[in-house]
Amino acid sequence: MAVNVYSNYPPELTSDQEDFLVQTVKNWSVEHALTVRPSTAIVSQEINTNNVLATNAPVTLFPSPFPKACFQQARCLQQVYNELYAAIASDQEWLEAVLKELIEVDDFLANLWKIHLAVKEEGYVQDLTLGLFRSDYMLHTPDDAPPSLKQVEFNTISSSFGGLSVKVAQLHTHLATYPSAKQPVAYPPHALFARPDKDSSNGPSINTIGHPPPNSAVSTLTAGLAAAHNAYGPSKSIPQLPPCILFLVQDNERNVFDQYALSTNLYEEHRIPSFRLPTSKILTSTSIPSKETNPNRPLIYTPPSSPETQYEVTVVYFRALYAPSEYDLPTSWAARLHLERSAAIKCPTVLLQLSGSKKIQQVLTSLPPEADHLQHFLPGHDASILSNLRSTFAPQYSLSSEGTASDSDEIQGVRLALSPTTAQHHVLKPQREGGGNNIYRTNIPPFLASIPRSQWKQYILMELIQPPTSAKNVALRSDGQVVRGNVISELGIFGTALWKTSTGSSKPDILHNTEGGYLLRTKANDSDEGGVAAGFSSLDSLILYEDL
C-alpha cells in the first residue's frame, strides 16, 4: 500500500515559523492581487464606506498533495468533456426532451427556455458559441482504496477563480522555493518540498517535483475569449465600430480581482479591450439597432464614462446571471433576452447554460442498454476514452417518474432518497449554481417530505464521493484567522471551446478546443458545501506525487 502522504504533512510550525509564514502570505497576496473585496461580515459598511478595501483571498498556507495520475487523467479528459458539452448545447431536441418536465415546475429554467424559444422564433443571428468551462472533481477513496477521480459537477457558466488560482500556485511555489528549493525560508524541511533524490523521510514510494505545477488558467481562458473575438469577423454596424468584449458582472461583486486578472491579460496578450458591465446596466449601456436600420443585430456598447465612443460587442462573457436571485429587477429577463438575441457571441448561450444543469449530468450517467449518451454525443471517440470519461461519473438518480428515466431508475432514486440509511450516503441537488443549494445526507428524507411530490423531479440524487480522510492543511481566511485541521479538496480543470451550430444541424463544428489550468479548493472536512466565494473553501494549489 502507498505510504500515507499526510502522515507528517503539512509540516509542524513553531509559532515564530507560523508568524513568518502568515505575514509572508498576507503581504504577497496584497502585492500580487491575490485578493477579494471584504464581505460586510469582515469589515462593516460604516468602516468601508467607500468600498476601497481589499483583503487576501482565503488561501491554504501549504499546497495539498494530489496523486499525479488522477491530475493527468482529469487533464486528459478535459477536451473530451468540452466536446461533449458543445454537442449537448447544439442538440436542442435532446435538451428539450430532458429538461421538459423540469421546465414545467421550475420557473428559472422555464424563463431561460422561453428566451431560447423567443430568439429561435425571431431567428438567431449568431451561430458561434463560446464555452469557458471548469470540470470539478474530488478523489474517491472508499474504504481507503487507492484514489480514483469522480466528477462533482461540470460548470458551463461563470466558471470562476482561473485568475486567482494562477496566483495561489505562484504563491506556494514562492514559499517552497525562496530563496532556494533546497532551503526555503517559509516552509520547514519536508520530503514533499525536496527533490526526490534528497530526502526520503516520507518513505521511498513518494516522488514529487517539489512545488505546484505551473497553472495556465489565465492564458487558457483569455485565448478562448480571443478566439471568439477574432471569429466574430468584421463589424456588423453601420458605420463600423471598434470591437470590444463585455464582462457581465454582478453589481456587488467581491471577486473582482479574479476577473481583472483575465481582462488585464486579454489586453496585454491579445490587445483586446474589455469593459465591465453590471447586470443592472445592460439595458441602459447597450443597444441593438432596429430591424429596419440593421437586421444583423450588433450589440452596441456605450461606456458611461465616455459616451462619445461606442463599441461593438464581439463576446459577452457572463460572470453573472446564473442564479434566480440575480434576476431581481422588473427588467432582468428582458435584459437577458436582449443579450441573447444580439449578434454578440455569448459565453454561454442560454442553451449552454441549460446544458450545465445537474439534471443533464445525471442523465449522462445512464448506462446502455437504457441509453448511451456518450456514444451518441461523442461518436468519433474510442470506447476506451468514453469508458475513461464514464469512470469519473458518481452514481446519480432521477427522482422523476416521467421523461427519460426508466421506472427502475425512479424507484431506485426515490427509495435511496427516502430511507435515512441510504440517504446518508447521498446529496440532493436542485438545478442551481453558485453553492449553498444542496441538501445533504439525513436532511434529505424530511426535506422531500416537506415539499409536494410533484416538485421532487426538480432534484437529482447523487452518491457522495468519499475523499481521503487523512488530508490536513492550514488556511488563512480573509479576516486573518488561521484555521487548521482535516480537509477535503476539490480539483477544477479549466477548458475552452468555440463552436458553430448550423441551422437544422444538431452537431457542432468545433473551431477551438483547449485544456489548461487548474483550481484546487480546500475546505474543512466537516463542511458539506465547497464554494470559495460562498465562504466555505480556501484557494489551494497542488503538489503532485506518484507511487513508484
Residue owning grid cell 428566451: 115
In whole angstroms, what separates CA 317 from the centre of its chain?
Answer: 14
Query: Is residue 513 flagged as an active site residue?
Result: no
Work out what residue 417 binds among Mg ion, ligand ADP, none; the CB cut-off runs from 5 to 8 Å by kind: none
CB of 490 to Mg ion, least distance (A): 8
How many other CB atoms sit within 10 Å of the CB of residue 526?
9
Query: Is residue 406 flagged as an active site residue?
Result: no
Taking the C-alpha atoms of residue 375 and residue 336, their distance in angstroms, rounded to an integer, is: 33
Query: Is residue 134 flagged as an active site residue?
Result: yes
Burial of 441 (0-12, 13-18, 19+ CB in 10 A): middle
Of the residues 312, 516, 521, 530, only one is catalytic, namely: 521
Taking the C-alpha atoms of residue 164 and residue 187, their distance in angstroms, rounded to an integer, is: 22
What is the contact surface with ligand ADP in residues (CB under 6 A)?
Answer: 136, 152-153, 394, 427, 429, 433-435, 437-438, 462, 464-465, 490, 528-530
Query: Is residue 153 flagged as an active site residue?
Result: yes
Query: Could you say which residues in the range 143-162 bind Mg ion, by CB under 5 A?
Result: 153
Of the residues 134, 150, 336, 457, only one is catalytic, namely: 134
And the C-alpha cell for 369? 442498454
Question: Which residue in the shown chain puts its C-beta closest to Mg ion?
Answer: 153
Give the residue numbers of the binding site for Mg(2+).
Answer: 433
Of the residues 403, 434, 531, 535, only one is catalytic, namely: 434
Of the residues 37, 236, 359, 429, only one is catalytic, namely: 429
In order, the DSSP letters of 18-54 are: HHHHHHHHHHHHHHTT-EEPPPTTTS-TTTTTT----
Work out what residue 433 binds among ligand ADP, Mg ion, none; the CB cut-off runs from 5 to 8 Å by kind: ligand ADP
Give the residue numbers of the binding site for substrate.
Answer: 259, 521
CB of 467 to ligand ADP, least distance (A): 7
CB of 186 to Mg ion, least distance (A): 31
Residue closer to ligand ADP (CB basis): 36 or 282: 36
Query: Is residue 429 flagged as an active site residue?
Result: yes
Q: Is the dihedral of CA 509, 515, 516, 521 positive or negative?
A: positive
Query: Is residue 517 flagged as an active site residue?
Result: no
3 state SS of 521:
strand
Residue closer to ligand ADP (CB basis): 112 or 152: 152
Residue closer to ligand ADP (CB basis): 136 or 312: 136
Cβ neighbours of residue 200 under 8 Å, at least 6 residues apart?
191
Instruction: Please work out, in degrees rounded to the nearest 5, the angle formed at the alpha carbon of residue 260 by the alpha carbons of 340 and 220.
Output: 75
Question: Which residue in the shown chain puts its C-beta closest to ligand ADP?
Answer: 530
Of the residues 37, 150, 336, 358, only one is catalytic, namely: 358
Q: How many helices (H) and strands (E) does the chain have?
A: 16, 22
Query: Is residue 131 flagged as an active site residue?
Result: no
The residues of the shown chain that bind Mg ion, judged by CB under 5 A, are: 153
Catalytic residues: 134, 153, 155, 160, 358, 429, 433-434, 521
